[in-house]
Amino acid sequence: MAKNEYSAYQADVIGRYYDNLDNIMLQKLGELVSELYLTDGDKKKEKLWQRVNKALVSLGIKEGLIKHIMEKKDVEILAKNLQDWLAVKKKR
């Protein structure tokens, strides 16, 4: 299998993406919260909650908190935690 070789520019873009992955995932969670508030269909909501779960795992959120959020599937709980995570991120 051929090894991927990237130009200096490509390597820089890839590096910046991974440096900002937390910010990207927090933004994605914010978008998911908005979609969950606006969605009526149960099938659509279930797919959105699956995406929320993947985003939480990608962010490295503690397993117990992920389990709590996913068991309740309450947008208010998710939104409150998202606010807290964003506040902590701003302080850094």
Note the pLDDT of residue 87: 92
Note the pLDDT of residue 67: 97
> Consecutive 10-residue runs of the chain (92 residues): their mean pLDDT?
79 93 94 96 96 96 96 96 92 76
Note the pLDDT of residue 91: 81
Specify if 70 maps to a domain: yes
Distance between start and end Cα atoms, the chain: 41
Query: What is the domain extent for residue 45?
Result: 24-91
CB 81 within 8 A of CB 64: no
Could you give the 3-state DSSP secondary structure of residue 60? coil
Specify if 17 maps to a domain: no
> Quick check: pTM over 0.95?
no
Note the pLDDT of residue 3: 65
Distance CA 1, CA 63 (A): 36
Specify if 9 maps to a domain: no
Specify if 84 maps to a domain: yes
Number of domains composing the chain: 1
Specify if 12 maps to a domain: no
Note the pLDDT of residue 62: 96
